[in-house]
Amino acid sequence: VTQGSRAANGLAGAALGLSFLLRAVGDSTGSVDESGVRVTSSWPSWLTPIGWAQQVRPFDTDSWWVFAIFAVFLVAIVWLAYALTGRRDHGAGLVQPRPGPPRAAPRLPTALGFAWRMQRTTLLWWALGIAVLAATYGSVADEMDNFLDEGGAVADMMTQLGGGAKALTDAYFAVIFLMMSFFTAAYAVQSVLRMHGEEASGRVEPLLSTALSRTRWMLSHIAVVVGGIVVLHVILGVVVAITYGIAIGDLGGPLGSLLPAALAFVPAVLLVAATAILCVGALPHRAGSVAWGLFAVWMLIGQIGPLLNLPQWVMDLSPFVHVPALPAADLRALPLIVLTVVAVLLAAAGVAALRRRDIAVQ
């Protein structure tokens, strides 16, 4: 459909986000049995492959017939892909890119303005997706006490992931903010690696042959990414608080506790971004694989580490583990300060590494 890989990746990400949202809506509006563990999903869950996978229900009903839906969908989507490929020009897309404006904006010739122009679409789509997910999670938070049996295994798991909170709703919010911080961290890695893509494609070399220095070029992108991280977490906290406030009849009440809880994960996400910056500066040929690999390891540790009772030294490897589980726990400033300092040092090392090496063109 699209001409470039970034647009194709964006569409794929949007499709994945829509699938996740439909599954969430279908499960949250479904009916719960007496045990408080099993949910009979409503019809939106049947519109998404993520919902299909859950309807197999291994160790429960073992509904093997659901796999037939996957087979039909796979055949249909592959046939559609081949049909669309035959209807477009080689190297082009079905949707032609729009021509640019005849005159550039005044800020475009600046390093920061150019970086913003390159990064703004990515930030816009991530902001939209996070806002939709945040609204979904916030709107159903009031039902957590009724949705889960507080003495059941699922509630115990939620409480454990939420930092041992006694109130199930607080534990729910702590888990939601942890999960959503993985999304903002993915945005950070993707946006930082845009610099690697510009370098590998050879587009950055003409820029650096002008008066623009490597440091200014890199710092401009870093500034946009850092601003984007903060904006995404503000959107997350505000939307969750507003939708939860509407559900409980107190529109502004939850904002004072939920917005700080969302912003508490900013230092951990900054450290993930700083690691990607170091990869771009020091590992130009393996920046993508190393940055995404580290992010995946840290995400898995932060998400399932408490459930697997991993050793504490393994848990400490993930920056997400060091963030206090607000609003379920008390705010501790020292871990957040340490994460921020380490992030600054790693980013500075990445900038210094870029200044001392050759520009890599793959």
pLDDT at 134 over 80: yes
Q: What percent of the chain clears pLDDT 70, i.e. is strictly above it?
A: 91
Please report, rounded to a whole number, the percentage of residues in the chain having pLDDT higher than 90: 34
Q: In the structure, what pLDDT confidence band is assigned to residue 239 with cuts at 50, 70 and 90?
A: very high
pLDDT tens figures, 249-293: 877 778 888 999 999 999 999 999 999 999 999 988 888 899 999
Q: Which of 15-19, 116-120, 155-159 has the highest mean pLDDT?
A: 116-120
pLDDT of residue 157: 58
> What CA–CA distance (Å, rounded) separates 70 from 84?
21
Decide if 192 contacts 280 (C-beta within 8 A).
yes
The amino acid at 360: A
Residue 306 has pLDDT above 90, yes or no: no
> Which pLDDT does position 163 carry in this prediction?
52
When mean pLDDT is compared over 52-56, 73-77, 110-114, 311-315, the highest value belongs to 73-77
The two structure tokens encoding residue 244: 């939860």
Mean pLDDT confidence for 290-318: 86
How far, CA to CA in Å, does 118 sit from each of 110, 246, 311?
12, 36, 42
Q: Mean pLDDT score of the chain, rounded to an integer?
A: 85
Report which of 240, 247, 294 is spatially closest to residue 271, judged by C-alpha positions: 294
* Nearest alpha carbon to residue 167 among 138, 136, 139, 142: 142
Q: Judge whether 98 and 3 are in contact, CB under 8 Å.
A: no
Can you give the C-alpha Rg of the chain in angstroms?
22
The Cα–Cα gap between 110 and 115 comes to 8
| SS3 annotation, the chain | CCCCHHHHHHHHHHHHHHHHHHHHHHHHCCEECCCCCCEECCHHHHHCHHHHHHHCCCCCCCCHHHHHHHHHHHHHHHHHHHHHHCCCCCCCCCCCCCCCCCCCCCCCCCHHHHHHHHHHHHHHHHHHHHHHHHHHHHHHHHHHHHHCCCCCHHHHHHHHHCCCCCCHHHHHHHHHHHHHHHHHHHHHHHHHHHHHHHHHHCCHHHHHCCCCCHHHHHHHHHHHHHHHHHHHHHHHHHHHHHHHHHHHCCCCCCHHHHHHHHHCCHHHHHHHHHHHHHHHHHCCCCHHHHHHHHHHHHHHHHHHHHHHCCCHHHHCCCHHHHCCCCCCCCCCHHHHHHHHHHHHHHHHHHHHHHHCCCCCCC
Decide if 1 contacts 91 (C-beta within 8 A): no
- Residue 159: which pLDDT band, with cuts at 50, 70 and 90? low
Assign 35 a pLDDT band (cuts: 50, 70, 90).
low
pLDDT at 343: 96
Rounded mean pLDDT, 302-308: 76
Task: Report, as an integer, the average pLDDT of 100-108.
Answer: 77
The confidence band for 102, taking pLDDT boundaries of 50, 70 and 90, is confident
